[in-house]
Chain A
């Protein structure tokens, strides 16, 4: 299924260029399961072959990805009142919110180009937790610029061999995502173990 979507989008980006590229990145930033990283690498390669202007595509891609992120942040912000009504008093939510506020900049940066599968959830959480919009946009812009320059630049450098690189990058992104999930599980297990030790101690 994803191969069919990728093939279709690659054909259309050849035919329609910048508007189609912008639309793909914009919708991907809103949460639609589209192959954004593959498109950035491919467009980098097409630019190397003289099919597109690299600078034009980079600017358009960056602006559309940032616009999509701003809207998904706003969606999270819109849902904030609902979240506050439901779970605002929960200590777990307060704890998670404080923890996110401390490390939000890192989460926003890394989910733009390294753990892209978590980009949309991060936008929604940032919006829903009351993170400052200007600050979000600053880290978002830096992260998306890194994504476009790094992936697009690699596509440009690999030229017609870009598919080999894209295969590696998509698997590597999945691997990092797995490490994050495992680390979260281990962190929860350690927390749970520490709490159970603390509750047992008074009885000793």
Chain B
């Protein structure tokens, strides 16, 4: 068997392997898209914030506090206060939830994300924010 034959066979085998791998991924993602369509009205599903319709499962650990605050129409300082982060450090606003977790609560993985979810929900219900740490409501599994 010559080198050319080897390359041809390798290309065919690699092509089939890539198609199977990404094809199954595309199929899984397509099925997951069912129920998620274009022109959804964001986390509030078209209803006003006061109606408590915010879908907090959309919060990810790469998001920053100001971004979440804008997304859910909650003051950023209310979120930081709810997390019991009282330092006047503007750098904290540039940190992702994962980095905030590592900085302030290194022994409690995922606690910042879970607590922010409960703060947002309490804010939408116009209740007092829960005491830290709150019981996790959602555990984010999806990653970008």
User: Chain A: residues with CB nearer than 8 A to chain B?
Assistant: 3, 6-8, 10-11, 14-15, 38, 42, 48-51, 154, 157-161, 163-168, 170-175, 177-186, 188-189, 192
User: Chain B: residues with CB nearer than 8 A to chain A?
Assistant: 4-5, 7-23, 25-26, 28-30, 32-33, 36-43, 55, 58, 60-64, 66-67, 70-71, 94-96, 98-99, 142-144
Determine whether the beta carbon of A174 is less than 8 Å from that of B22.
Answer: yes
Determine whether the beta carbon of B39 is less than 8 Å from that of A49.
Answer: no
Chain A residues whose C-beta falls within 8 Å of the C-beta of B37 in the assembled complex: 158, 161
Chain B residues whose C-beta falls within 8 Å of the C-beta of A15 in the assembled complex: 64, 94
Determine whether the beta carbon of A168 is less than 8 Å from that of B30.
Answer: yes
Chain B residues whose C-beta falls within 8 Å of the C-beta of A161 in the assembled complex: 36-37, 40, 58
Determine whether the beta carbon of B8 is less than 8 Å from that of A189.
Answer: yes
Determine whether the beta carbon of A38 is less than 8 Å from that of B22.
Answer: no
State the Cβ distance, B2 to closest chain A Cβ, in Å: 9
Say which residue of A10, A51, A163, A182 sits within 8 Å of B12 (CB atoms). Answer: A182
Chain B residues whose C-beta falls within 8 Å of the C-beta of A10 in the assembled complex: 62-63, 144
Say which residue of A14, A158, A171, A188 sits within 8 Å of B8 (CB atoms). Answer: A188
Determine whether the beta carbon of A178 is less than 8 Å from that of B18.
Answer: yes
Determine whether the beta carbon of A178 is less than 8 Å from that of B143.
Answer: no
A51 to B66, CA, bound (A): 10
A172 to B24, CA, bound (A): 10
Determine whether the beta carbon of B22 is less than 8 Å from that of A172.
Answer: yes
A10 to B59, CA, bound (A): 13
